[in-house]
Amino acid sequence: MSAVGIVSSCSCLHPGIWLLKPGMHKMSFFGLHTATKCAAKDCYEVLVLGGGTGGIAMSARMKRKVGAGNVAVVEPSKTHYYQPLWTLVGGGAKQLATSARSTESVMPKGVEWIKSRVTALDPDKNCVWLENDIKLSYKYLIIALGISLQYEKIKGLPEGFDHPKIGSNYSVHTVEKTWKAIQEFKEGNAIFTFPNTPVKCAGAPQKIMYLSEAYWRKTGKRSKANIMFNTSLGVIFGVKKYADALLEIIKERNITINYKYNLVEVRADKQEAVFENLDKPGVTEVHQYDMLHVTPPMGPPNVLINSPVSDGSGWVDVDKETLQHKKYPNVFGIGDCTNLPTSKTAAAVVRWIYLLPAGNRLQQGDPSRI
């Protein structure tokens, strides 16, 4: 990690506008909010916040543009996880270890890894603050902080995960509990939830249900399972074409869907899940379970809430065609932490990185294909 300190000015800035693509706001050395100078490694041509799918991929692309030593990624975790694999870990088809790599091993060569957490952003001064009051300056900033899991918004969680019969594929701490709960299921209700917030990979809450159903069929327990999908939404999936196909599968596999059911409490010691009926606010229903898969509420990372780079809901406020920030031209956002009208998936991140000009598909009104 670099030795970093207070920076008042930075000369690492090139006058070029290499990052720009057609349609982006032009900026130049003089267009930035500060003309900073950096002697030590406390100022970067490109600073990336977050070393997940979007951050690592963008840092590799940017290093090719500005050269080794000019790009840094701020990421606190020592382990990088390929989260889409967790569906298969929860379903018993993969080991958790296969989804993990050391962050060091995925950091592109020539990109500096700053092992810290960003605590505040000051885009008017082209700098961010890290833990221990460390300040870093940048010429360009890419924000890729992902989406935050909020298990604590459900009464009884996360401590309820200490009990059996409950799991959640969304966290590294609980994904293996899903497979255990599937295996230990004997008879009764198997409940799969979908929260009342944006989520990453909106398909994952259903995928684990279909995997569970197939496992119980294979092991002769299917006739003893009453499988329920309790979703806060009023539809099975946001895109009608896929919703129609899914409804046929749901019917064929004899699964019950309860629409507008939002999980608000888990009494794990009694194997009870409490749902609020969103059509009748304040009215709750208690469901006994023999297995419960929780998809937690999610929201923007805390550091983005009330940040100058965020919209009113806390998502990074970017142009949907270019990923450029709407107010700060040298700031960009990618992935789950942005307010892009795409689904929050790795697939959307990859699409933006490799096919950015095709972002104009959005104008054709088909965000689901991004």
| Residue among 24, 25, 76, 308 that touches ligand FAD (CB under 6 A) | 76
13 or 229: whose CB is closer to ligand FAD?
A: 229
Q: Kindly determine how many residues on this chain lie close enough to bind ligand FAD according to the rule CB under 6 A.
A: 35
* 121 binding ligand FAD? (CB under 6 A): no
Interface residue with ligand FAD among 43, 54, 106, 189 (CB under 6 A) is: 54
Omega within 30 of 0 (cis) for the link into 158 = yes
Angle in degrees, 0-180, between the axes of helices 175-184 and 204-218, rounded to the nearest 10: 30
Nearest to 286 by CA among 267, 270, 296, 272: 272
Pick from 52, 75, 46: nearest CA to 337: 52
Tell me the sheet residues that pair with 141.
Answer: 47, 331
- Residue 173 CB, shortest distance to ligand FAD, in Å, is 12
CA–CA separation, 118 and 49 (whole Å):
7
| 141 sits near ligand FAD (criterion: CB under 6 A) | no
Stretch that binds ligand FAD, among 17-25, 45-53, 134-142, 312-320 (CB under 6 A): 45-53
Q: Tell me how far apart the alpha carbons of residues 143 and 128 are, in angstroms, rounded to a whole number.
A: 11
Nearest CA among 99, 272, 89, 85 for reference residue 180: 89
Q: Which is nearer to ligand FAD, 70 or 103 (CB)?
A: 103
Q: According to the binding rule CB under 6 A, does residue 201 interact with ligand FAD? A: yes
Q: Which of residues 341-370 bind ligand FAD (CB under 6 A)?
A: 344-347, 349
Rounded to whole angstroms, the Cα distance separating 360 from 343 reads: 16
Cα–Cα distance, 298 to 311 (Å, whole number): 16
Q: What are phi and psi of 65, to 5 degrees?
A: -80, -45
Cβ closest to ligand FAD, residue 27 vs residue 146: 146
| Site for ligand FAD, residues 259 to 298, rule: CB under 6 A | none
Q: Is 300 in the site for ligand FAD (CB under 6 A)?
A: no
- Asked whether position 87 contacts ligand FAD by CB under 6 A, the answer is yes
Min dist CB 47 to ligand FAD, Å, is: 11
d(CA 303, CA 314): 9
**Residue 314 in the binding site for ligand FAD (CB under 6 A):** no
In the complex, least distance from residue 369 CB atom to ligand FAD, rounded to whole angstroms: 13
Q: List residues near ligand FAD by CB under 6 A.
A: 49-55, 74-77, 83-84, 86-87, 117-118, 144-146, 169-170, 200-201, 204, 301, 303, 335-337, 344-347, 349
